[in-house]
Amino acid sequence: MRDIIERLNYHIQEVPIKVKQFSEEEFSEQLLGKWSKKETLGHLCDSATNNHHRFIKIQIEGQPFVIGPYNQNNWVIIQDYQSMQPYEIVDYWTTLNKLIAKIISKIPDEKLLYLCDIGDNKTVTLAELIEDYLRHMEHHLSQIFVTSSL
């Protein structure tokens, strides 16, 4: 988990700096059928919100913990990230991920093996769910930043 926490902390430091390098227009540009960079970062806030709760509940509720899906497109629409100021989304994302890093750092090793039912007759451990959270985040961060000149 140490590597995951280090990577989370790296992103917590770097994302606010990188976002400031975009103009409002660049950060808000919507491509046909796709989220803007702003909405993509908002989606990562929604992912953080959902996973923050999961990482706590998995440790205290029965096993396997059943993970329900959420409609990510509706979350982005209802939150209306497109109309928010970039700093509001960045601050929200940063705060959520600081909390997640703290939670992860305090999970006892034996609880990392707790099982999570992710549907379709599949189970993963809490450790694997945490790894997937970071993998998902980094995938979307690469969409935001790698496709730019940053």
Q: What is the CATH number of the domain that holds 128?
A: 1.20.120.450
When divided into structural domains, the chain yields a total of 1
Is 105 a domain residue? yes
Is 150 a domain residue? no
Q: Return the pLDDT at 54.
A: 97
* Residue with token string 């609880």: 111
Q: Print the domain residue range for 69.
A: 2-145
CA nearest 150: which of 13, 15, 12? 15
pLDDT bin (cut points 50, 70, 90) of residue 147 is: low
Segment 33-51, tens digit of pLDDT: 899 999 999 999 999 999 9
Is 83 a domain residue? yes
Sign of CA dihedral 47, 88, 98, 34: positive
Is 134 a domain residue? yes
Q: Does position 150 have pLDDT exceeding 50, yes or no?
A: no
Is 133 a domain residue? yes
**pTM to 2 decimals?**
0.94
Is 20 a domain residue? yes
Evaluate whether 15 touches 90 at the Cβ level (below 8 Å).
Answer: yes
